[in-house]
């Protein structure tokens, strides 16, 4: 008989823990700590708001207060919108953690850990400031054109790297075992 028949209720551990969960959560912690450390230094130590910095022909450090989600979508100025975004982010992290508990290999766990860590890093900003601190500005220009990418942070880099890892795993992951995806 299962837990329900014995009166034990739902076993949360089975949904939140798997063979690579600790590894993925360690990656999430590292990604989140690196993101927060970079933001704390640039906001409080370096005072990026007062000192935007050119890093070369393609990158600048500038402070952007992002009240929306990725790429500045769904800008939300009020507290209700911020709490809605935080709620969505919390639900996404829980679902990603459940997915992580079912990860069958280190690459998937690494990728999910990066996404979770990046999401948590940006959520901490939203709780602390009411906005996410973005600071890396990538741009390229020619004689008569200019390309500006969105301003981003290390949490965003972790999220994108995690998504790339999941895409790689979904396309090429089974080939090392002789399986075709």
Is 68 within a domain?
yes
The most distant pair of C-alpha atoms in the chain lies apart, rounded to whole Å, by 74
Is 165 within a domain?
yes
Is 22 within a domain?
no
What is the pTM assigned to this prediction?
Answer: 0.84
The Cα-based distances of 108 to 19, 80, 118, 157 in angstroms read: 12, 34, 15, 17
| Residue whose pair of structure tokens reads 């990728």 in the numeric block | 111
pLDDT in tens, 2-11: 455 555 666 7
Is 117 within a domain?
yes
Is 173 within a domain?
yes
Residues of the domain holding 67: 39-177
Catalytic center residues:
134, 156
Is 5 within a domain?
no
pLDDT in tens, 130-177: 899 999 999 998 889 999 988 999 999 999 999 999 999 999 986 655
Quick check: 1 pLDDT over 60?
no
Q: CB under 8 Å to 20, separation ≥6 — which residues? A: 100, 103, 104, 105, 106, 108, 109
Is 147 within a domain?
yes
Kindly report the backbone phi and psi dihedral angles of residue 65, in degrees, each rounded to the nearest multiple of 5, phi listed first.
-95, 105
Domain count, the chain: 1
Is 10 within a domain?
no
pLDDT band, residue 180 (cuts 50/70/90)? very low
């Amino acid at each position: 008989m299962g837990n329900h028949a014995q009166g034990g209720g739902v076993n949360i551990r089975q949904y939140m823990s798997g063979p690579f969960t600790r590894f993925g959560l360690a990656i999430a912690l590292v990604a989140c700590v690196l993101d927060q450390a970079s933001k704390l230094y640039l906001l409080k130590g370096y005072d990026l708001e007062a000192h935007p910095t050119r890093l070369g022909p393609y990158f600048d450090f500038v402070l952007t207060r992002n009240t929306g989600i990725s790429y500045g979508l769904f800008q939300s100025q009020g507290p209700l919108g911020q709490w809605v975004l935080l709620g969505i982010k919390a639900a996404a992290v829980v679902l990603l953690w459940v997915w992580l508990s079912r990860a069958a290999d280190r690459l998937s766990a690494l990728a999910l850990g990066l996404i979770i860590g990046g999401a948590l890093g940006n959520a901490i900003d939203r709780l602390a400031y009411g906005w996410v601190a973005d600071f890396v500005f990538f741009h390229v220009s020619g004689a008569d054109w200019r390309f500006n990418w969105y301003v981003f942070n290390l949490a965003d880099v972790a999220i994108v790297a995690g998504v790339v890892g999941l895409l790689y795993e979904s396309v090429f992951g089974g080939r090392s075992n002789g399986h075709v995806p």
